[in-house]
Chains A and B, each alone.
Chain A
Amino acid sequence: EDQVTQSPEALRLQEGESSSLNCSYTVSGLRGLFWYRQDPGKGPEFLFTLYSAGEEKEKERLKATLTKKESFLHITAPKPEDSATYLCAVQANQGGKLIFGQGTELSVKP
């Protein structure tokens, strides 16, 4: 069964304190792994898509990496505006639907 597990469930950081969020997955043929940011009461905002092991993508203070079993979202020197829930999802080769993890709620204090 295709499955996505994110850890930790919640993460509290001080402004400037770098850290990483983990997304472990099992899927029968990976078409893509997606990272989204979701603010309260809003829809998910697309961040990255990773397609193959070894791939890395960066956007401002965020960097996403991918291995055959997991993905990491590294946050460098976070700011309070980075506070949000970060969602990881996988798309299997068969079909286009996304399977989401439970998310990591990130809180960055000034």
Chain B
Amino acid sequence: GAVVSQHPSWVICKSGTSVKIECRSLDFQATTMFWYRQFPKQSLMLMATSNEGSKATYEQGVEKDKFLINHASLTLSTLTVTSAHPEDSSFYICSAHIVSYEQYFGPGTRLTVT
């Protein structure tokens, strides 16, 4: 099956700093990538949809200036959490969308803001 990687797998940062998370499709080109966040014991909540070469589309309630998404190529998308605060601590997961409409998920990144 299709493989999606994320880096880093976990990160701890101080309040006020920025953190960048990378999402790569390893063995296929993804037309679209999605970013989700997941709080403990809750399901995945879509944050934004990212298409290569164009601006990301953010879901209602997600601050686009705080969660910067760059989709540099068909195999790489990045999420930067700017001026992180403790309430941004969460599990961030990306997924890559291939032609058959199936989405394959990365292993996730655990962000802890102290």
Chain A interfacial positions (CB closer than 8 Å to B): 31-32, 34, 36, 41-46, 49, 87, 91, 95-103
Contacts and interface: CB of A to CB of B under 8 A. Distances in A.
A95 B95 CA distance: 15
Contacts of A91: 101
Nearest to B10: A41
Contacts, number: 57
Given A97-B46, A97-B49, A100-B44, A43 B101 contact: no
Main secondary structure, interface of A, reads: strand
Given A41-B91, A49-B101, A97-B46, 18 more contacts: A32-B102, A41-B108, A43-B6, A43-B93, A43-B106, A43-B108, A44-B44, A44-B105, A46-B1, A46-B103, A49-B100, A87-B44, A96-B34, A96-B49, A98-B95, A100-B43, A101-B43, A102-B42
Interface residues of B, number: 25
B108 A42 contact: yes
Interface in B62-108: 91, 93, 95, 97, 100-108
